Structure 1
């Protein structure tokens, strides 16, 4: 920027001071007139140096869409200037305007007086203005989240999201954050995404957009402890529902550590939450510009949703009804299969009691730890109690659509405490979750499944095994701490509890002891 003429300096100073205080304007106008008449000094532009007013603060739940979305997201075109621009920003390159050859500024008394008056005015305005909120919120013990509204630029190959503030909000400093963009910020294998507000100087060399989008974007990691249904939903899908559902599909996902198997397995959910192509952010070489970017995922707890913290007061029940709708399962007004079938049969005078459909119990048998070691005996006992039995051993490659239909057609979901029980979301309202609770897992059974099942209008029944029904009893004997006093193992830390209660324990169900529980459930279903 070239140096200003004296006349331009007069206008610039007068305009600046006019916006602030009339009393100071009159004084400065007289001062400027004197300067014009008595000096030929060329004044350079003044800029505020206070870095506390440069952040634009978006609301936590901005849901408004900007304009009609494009038919498909714009492609990313490599920009040769991107790396150079980022290098300039990261190395703190100063504004080129301050380095132009031939620019001279006299440090005389008038100069200093004018600069000091302007600084005082700007400082006074900052003190009386509303304090700025940070773009990133690191206060939650579970997750970190950043929300940028305005000129937001995402650069995948650098794992960077930049905010370019409006000209009048730029400052000398540019704060930045390192964000683990998933719902558990203390996971070691989640790599960080850099989120940075550009300073005034950095804004002038910001990487240019290679694609512009009319809808918001969410940057999140598709890794961590995922790989079983509980973590898939608790760590990614439910937090993504909380973060993205209010956009009604008008949002694009920029995914770090994209897992193709995860995308394929949960395609129906992902493509409903976003109508746009999923971007493999790690491999995206362009500069994608959005009106709003969220980095990270909101999370309210283990497999849970707090409606008071969601944009439209979503609940865990809303999530269950939402995914049932996505999978084209019957609406919430349809009863459990047993009652629906017998309601239909009751209108047929030729149907006898023995021809009426039995309630179906879907029995999940785990393939590794915490499996039923006497499965044929258990199956026979369930049938003897009056149930139709369907035994399933879920695996990661199993079609989720097919499994969802199996669950929807069942009245009872039975299994040992473990991740597969998370599929209770596909059951109908008032269906039963029968959780067989192994040694040392009593508190976990209610915390991770029981409370949630009841929140989504399911009936939760727990069967607590006796010590003799655990293979730990067979392996270690009745006097081992894991058998005699499971709490003492928990007090030693996670590793010991994991070894005994999660990894080594299988279940040999005492079908005689178990029979009253089955009869209780059958009576409940028939009522």
Structure 2
């Protein structure tokens, strides 16, 4: 009985102790859980302790690895500037979010680099959408395709020419690089409408592409011009109108301090016009199609500027060059006498007059000299001996020449310069009037259907360079078209109607099939007028 009375209080004490122990464990567990929750909350909100420039370091490291492999050090600076446009709070918020995400990625080492790159890309995408990434000043297009005659590209800065794949690259400054780069396909000839001209690719590199741009194999301090030496060259008119005059317009202002990168290089053209080409550029001509390196220049022009058919518009040239400037330029290049000496006939007459005044013996009165161009194929004089006799009978000293593509230009230029008159049927050889002296005469025999063309392609230009222009319009009977087709054929009776049918018909009749049987009696008054003009 007594034992039972003592055991009851002992059991009560033990039960109270157990209850207190459970409550203490519960309190400790609650406090531990609270601490864990607070730590987790702090980590989520404020993120782990990481350097503020984590993203910049990652970007720089990735860029430097690519750049060390293929790009010059000057091109490595990343564009990390951010415009302050009232979005600083967003910047800080996004930076915290990104740093928190980057901190969590450390748990998976296998995918760490990939995940970080994806997060950086997402962050940059958000920056672009919100206008926070600085893209530099607006860049005007480096290529202009608006002219109906030609395309032109002009690059100033880091320009790299790769001949093997007909490509010219522009590596923009770091603060001007965009997310993409425009690209153009350029016909580097002055007549872009020609169908057989291969294109040169011109591309502005994007920010990513700039970091892996091909390294320079050679560096140059002068500009370069990329142009095609093909098209429809092969006769003097197209040689000058399509190539030499556009090259003069585009490069003369450089005074020889420019290099030519030539696509479709034609050795015969280089040989024929070497004096002009080596004067416009003091540097080796590069066969761009075969050039395997990466040439780097401070300035590259792709294409040639052209102002019209055998023409120059001074308002569109760097130093207001005119067509007369071009004529005087080629005379200097070919070492012809000073243009202010006057035409040879007057120069000889003055010498004779001076000899008479001094009482010294003089030769017989000089005759004006006429160079007669005889074409070898179409639009030739079929009665050349009769024409030659008529010219000499009128009082001229006659020189007959038939130019060819292989004829040396120096010799031919001196021959033209020595004459007072250049005479021929409308055709490419008349382009040699550029070698005449001021106030000499271009005498153009105009075939059927060629009246407008005679003025447009030669007459206006001759006048512009201070060469006198006289035209002799043949009659229908003087054209071999009259003999072949009769007087009632449209090509004879109504040439305009043939022109209206298109170029092919006009070319066939008036350029390809027509020769000239000059009526020397009808032509004689023109020769007499020519003598009087030279004596004035």
Shorter-chain TM-score: which interval? 0.7 to 0.9
Q: What pairs up with 1:318-357 in 2 under 5 angstroms?
A: 318-349=325-356, 350=359, 355-357=364-366
Q: Which has the higher helix share?
A: 2
Q: Is 1:122 the counterpart of 2:107 in the alignment?
A: no
**Taking structure 1 as reference, are residues 297 and 111 closer, same or farther at Cα in structure 2, changes over 3 Å only?**
closer
Deviations 1:280-303 (A, max 9, x none): 110111111111111110000100
Aligned pair partner of 2:322 in 297, 310, 315 = 315
**Taking structure 1 as reference, are residues 171 and 461 closer, same or farther at Cα in structure 2, changes over 3 Å only?**
same
The answer to which of 205-214 and 314-323 deviates more is 205-214
**Taking structure 1 as reference, are residues 353 and 510 closer, same or farther at Cα in structure 2, changes over 3 Å only?**
farther
**Taking structure 1 as reference, are residues 486 and 11 closer, same or farther at Cα in structure 2, changes over 3 Å only?**
closer
The Cα shift of 1:351 comes to 6.7
Point out which structure has higher relative CO (alpha carbons under 8 A, 6+ apart): 1
1:8 aligns to what? 53
1:468 aligns to what? 477
**Taking structure 1 as reference, are residues 132 and 385 closer, same or farther at Cα in structure 2, changes over 3 Å only?**
same
1:294 aligns to what? 301
Q: What pairs up with 1:187-202 in 2 under 5 angstroms?
A: 187-202=194-209
The answer to which of 454-463 and 328-337 deviates more is 328-337
Unmatched 5+ stretches in structure 2: 1-48, 60-77
Aligned pair partner of 2:155 in 148, 152, 165 = 148
Q: Is 1:21 the counterpart of 2:21 in the alignment?
A: no
The answer to which of 346-355 and 257-266 deviates more is 346-355
Aligned pair partner of 1:515 in 515, 519, 524 = 524
2:420 aligns to what? 411
The Cα shift of 1:164 comes to 1.2
Deviations 1:97-131 (A, max 9, x none): xx9962434999x99899746742437x76xx864
Q: What pairs up with 1:487-526 in 2 under 5 angstroms?
A: 487-526=496-535
**Taking structure 1 as reference, are residues 384 and 195 closer, same or farther at Cα in structure 2, changes over 3 Å only?**
same
Unmatched 5+ stretches in structure 1: 45-98
Q: What pairs up with 1:175-194 in 2 under 5 angstroms?
A: 175-194=182-201
**Taking structure 1 as reference, are residues 43 and 266 closer, same or farther at Cα in structure 2, changes over 3 Å only?**
farther
Deviations 1:69-123 (A, max 9, x none): xxxxxxxxxxxxxxxxxxxxxxxxxxxxxx9962434999x99899746742437
Cα separation, 2, equivalents of 1:353 and 1:438? 42
Cα separation, 2, equivalents of 1:369 and 1:111? 69
**Taking structure 1 as reference, are residues 43 and 520 closer, same or farther at Cα in structure 2, changes over 3 Å only?**
farther
Cα separation, 2, equivalents of 1:282 and 1:18? 41
2:168 aligns to what? 161
The size of the alignment, in residue pairs, is 463
2:234 aligns to what? 227
2:466 aligns to what? 457
Q: Which runs of 4+ in 1 moved over 3 A?
A: 9-13, 15-19, 22-25, 27-36, 38-44, 105-108, 110-119, 350-354
**Taking structure 1 as reference, are residues 523 and 352 closer, same or farther at Cα in structure 2, changes over 3 Å only?**
farther
Aligned-partner SS, 1:122:
coil
Aligned-partner SS, 2:113:
coil
Cα separation, 2, equivalents of 1:114 and 1:238? 50
Q: Is 1:104 the counterpart of 2:149 in the alignment?
A: no
Cα separation, 2, equivalents of 1:29 and 1:498? 70
Deviations 1:333-379 (A, max 9, x none): 11000111111111112478971211100000000000001111111
Aligned pair partner of 1:402 in 411, 424, 437 = 411
**Taking structure 1 as reference, are residues 284 and 101 closer, same or farther at Cα in structure 2, changes over 3 Å only?**
farther
Aligned-partner SS, 1:294:
strand
1:448 aligns to what? 457
Aligned-partner SS, 1:236:
helix
1:484 aligns to what? 493
Aligned pair partner of 2:253 in 227, 246, 251 = 246
The Cα shift of 1:197 comes to 1.1
Say whether the 8 Å CA contact 1:145–1:179 is kept in structure 2.
yes
Cα separation, 2, equivalents of 1:307 and 1:428? 21
Say whether the 8 Å CA contact 1:10–1:32 is kept in structure 2.
no
Cα separation, 1, equivalents of 2:433 and 2:404? 16
CA RMSD of aligned residues (A): 2.9
2:375 aligns to what? 366
Q: What pairs up with 1:32-43 in 2 under 5 angstroms?
A: 39=100, 41=102
Structure with higher Rg: it is: 2
Say whether the 8 Å CA contact 1:42–1:105 is kept in structure 2.
no
**Taking structure 1 as reference, are residues 170 and 341 closer, same or farther at Cα in structure 2, changes over 3 Å only?**
same
2:69 aligns to what? none
Cα separation, 2, equivalents of 1:238 and 1:346? 40
**Taking structure 1 as reference, are residues 43 and 18 closer, same or farther at Cα in structure 2, changes over 3 Å only?**
farther
Deviations 1:182-205 (A, max 9, x none): 000111111111111111222222
TM-score, normalised to structure 2's length?
0.81
Cα separation, 1, equivalents of 2:130 and 2:87? 11
1:89 aligns to what? none
The Cα shift of 1:521 comes to 1.1
TM-score, normalised to structure 1's length?
0.82
Cα separation, 2, equivalents of 1:278 and 1:254? 6
**Taking structure 1 as reference, are residues 391 and 101 closer, same or farther at Cα in structure 2, changes over 3 Å only?**
farther
